């Protein structure tokens, strides 16, 4: 059956309507679906990590597990884009999601046996899975939307994804409301996380490959067939000599480096068990607000896309400086040797540190959404962007692996804060330079849209697309 204003379906020869944004094969629905997958898997992982120490009294096991996680993530984040291009979304995303379930299960085991080995091994496997998942997610989020609305779609994804952290924060808050501060979270907390993560694994099979996704103007995301292992190996190696990727390295390294400090040494040290869960509800809720705000600036603030990029970086830089300045004032009164008295959400002294932790979540979303927008502005095809996103996640994870060991070795808290603040600050001028040299304004982008982004106009094109 056909619809006026539709485009030909590659397999059946029928037409697909492009009038409704809520078509199953529309970018809006597909980006929403990958958002739900990340809601269930990394969203719940974030809630688990955000409690400090993975919900355990002693954070050593979680720190070592996270070191293993981000070490393998650094490798498979970089390789993930190539693997996604070879295997496609279903196998890549499902394999990645399944490792989140195992990780949460390892802490359920640790609750009873206190053996780190399972948690560390599960962390290493999760790093492999997370590399696959985030490379696929990055390709979908940056290549499926129209070029002039990538900021909006990134904020949509980020809002859905971080709702997982909000719901995930409620799980430990409710289930551990009356528990003693000297205990770890209960078994039901980890089981709840595992149920959500299992649902995300099943939901990943609903994601369509890029050549099946049709934008409202009738263009497809890409019509090239999946790549080969040799091609991807060469293209991934080229990333290490790509000047665009080298300019992103400081921002990528900084973008997860601050998690160990914020989770363990702000939320974990300043607040009691139930309050940490409540704080995470607002930390990840702040991420939703931050992504929406920066998404609007990056898509609608000026007609020139390059100017929108400059303004977005400027806003994040100013806000980041103010928030880290507040973090410095908050950090000065306590240290590892002089820990603070843990606060409950019912105490009046709770307000100031809570606002700071909320602001950290706001800044995280704005910073990462800004970087994803810049990556999305460097190309339009799924294959290139999957490699760029994988490189970003790989470098990001290498930084995180170092950060978790920094915390394990009890580096002074003030030093950790200063390093985090410095890393984000150094990245801003390099991102400005990247936007100046590599991001084209909207008119140029439309004129130079790559041929693979168009609907097949011949039987040869259709046959090539069908071979995927």
Tell me how far apart the alpha carbons of residues 128 and 411 are, in angstroms, rounded to a whole number.
Answer: 28
Predicted TM-score of the model (pTM): 0.76
Q: What confidence tens digit (pLDDT) does each residue in 380-395 have?
A: 777 788 889 889 988 9
Task: Give the model's pLDDT for residue 448.
Answer: 42
Q: Which residue shows structure tokens 């909000």?
A: 166
What was the pLDDT predicted at 72? Answer: 93
Structural domain spans, the chain: 25-466
- Alpha carbons 42 and 354: distance in angstroms, whole number: 23
pLDDT score, position 380: 77
pLDDT on residue 446: 41
Question: CA-CA distance, 117 to 65, in Å (whole number)?
Answer: 9
333 within 8 A of 192, measured Cβ to Cβ: no
Which residues, listed in sequence order, are joined to residue 8 by a DSSP beta bridge? 15
pLDDT score, position 420: 96
Query: Which pLDDT tens digits describe the chain residue by residue (468 residues)?
Result: 333 344 444 444 434 445 555 788 888 999 999 999 999 999 999 888 877 666 665 667 888 888 899 899 999 988 888 888 888 888 999 999 999 999 999 988 888 888 888 999 999 999 999 999 988 888 888 788 887 788 888 889 989 998 988 888 887 788 777 765 656 677 888 899 899 999 999 999 999 888 788 887 777 776 545 567 788 888 889 999 999 999 999 999 999 899 989 988 999 899 987 888 889 889 989 999 999 999 999 988 888 889 999 999 999 999 999 999 999 999 999 998 899 999 999 999 999 999 999 999 999 999 999 999 999 889 877 778 888 988 998 899 899 889 988 888 889 999 999 999 999 999 999 999 999 999 887 654 444 444 443 434 444 343 333 333
Neighbour count for residue 25 (Cβ, 10 Å): 16
Residue 14 confidence (pLDDT): 37
The pLDDT value recorded for residue 459 is 41
Give the pLDDT of residue 468.
34
Q: Give 411's DSSP letter.
A: -
* pLDDT recorded at residue 222: 63
- Identify whether the C-beta of residue 6 lies closer than 8 Å to the C-beta of residue 18: yes
Q: Report yes or no: 298 and 151 within 8 Å, Cβ to Cβ.
A: yes
Question: Rounded to an integer, what distance in angstroms lies between the CA atom of residue 75 and that of residue 395?
Answer: 9
Per-residue pLDDT, 36: 95
- Looking at domain 25-466, which CATH architecture does it have? Up-down Bundle (1.20)
Per DSSP, the residues of 200-224 read HHHHGGGPPPGGG-B-TTS-BS--P
SS3 51: coil
């Amino acid at each position: 059956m056909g619809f006026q204003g539709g485009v030909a379906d590659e397999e059946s020869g029928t037409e697909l309507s492009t009038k409704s944004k809520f078509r199953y094969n529309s970018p809006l629905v597909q980006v929403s679906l990958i958002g739900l997958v990340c809601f269930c898997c990394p969203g719940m992982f974030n809630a688990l990590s955000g409690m400090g120490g993975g919900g355990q009294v002693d954070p050593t096991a979680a720190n070592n597990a996270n070191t293993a996680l981000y070490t393998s993530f650094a490798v498979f984040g970089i390789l993930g884009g190539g693997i996604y291009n070879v295997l496609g979304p279903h196998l890549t995303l499902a394999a990645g999601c399944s490792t989140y379930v195992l990780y949460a299960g390892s802490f359920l085991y640790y609750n009873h046996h206190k053996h780190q080995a399972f948690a560390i091994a599960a962390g290493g496997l999760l790093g492999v899975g997370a590399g696959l998942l985030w490379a696929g997610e990055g390709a979908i989020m940056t290549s499926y939307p129209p070029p002039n609305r990538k900021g909006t779609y990134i904020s949509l994804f980020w809002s859905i994804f971080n709702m997982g952290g909000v719901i995930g924060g409620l799980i430990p808050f409710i289930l551990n409301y009356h528990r003693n501060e000297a205990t770890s979270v209960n078994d039901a907390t980890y089981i709840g996380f595992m149920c959500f993560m299992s649902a995300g694994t099943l939901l990943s099979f609903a994601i369509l490959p890029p050549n099946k996704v049709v934008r409202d103007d009738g263009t497809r995301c890409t019509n090239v067939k999946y790549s080969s292992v040799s091609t991807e190996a060469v293209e991934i190696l080229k990333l290490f000599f790509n000047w665009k990727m080298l300019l992103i390295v400081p921002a990528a390294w900084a973008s997860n480096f601050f998690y160990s400090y914020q989770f363990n040494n702000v939320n974990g040290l300043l607040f009691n068990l139930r309050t940490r869960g409540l704080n995470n509800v607002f930390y990840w809720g702040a991420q939703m607000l931050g992504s929406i705000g920066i998404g609007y600036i990056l898509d609608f603030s000026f007609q020139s896309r390059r100017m929108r990029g400059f303004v977005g970086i400027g806003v994040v830089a100013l806000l980041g400086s103010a928030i880290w300045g507040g973090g410095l004032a908050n950090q000065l009164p306590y240290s590892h040797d002089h820990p603070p008295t843990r606060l409950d959400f019912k105490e009046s002294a709770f307000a100031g540190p809570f606002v700071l932790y909320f602001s950290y979540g706001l800044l995280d979303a704005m910073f990462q959404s800004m970087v994803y927008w810049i990556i999305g502005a460097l190309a339009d095809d799924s294959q290139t962007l999957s490699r760029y996103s994988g490189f970003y996640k790989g470098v990001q994870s290498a930084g995180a692996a170092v950060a978790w060991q920094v915390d394990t070795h009890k580096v002074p808290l003030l030093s950790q804060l200063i390093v985090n603040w410095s890393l984000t600050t150094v990245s801003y001028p390099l991102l400005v330079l990247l936007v100046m040299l590599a991001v084209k304004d909207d008119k140029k982008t439309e004129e130079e849209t790559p041929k693979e982004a168009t609907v097949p106009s011949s039987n040869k094109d259709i046959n090539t697309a069908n071979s995927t």
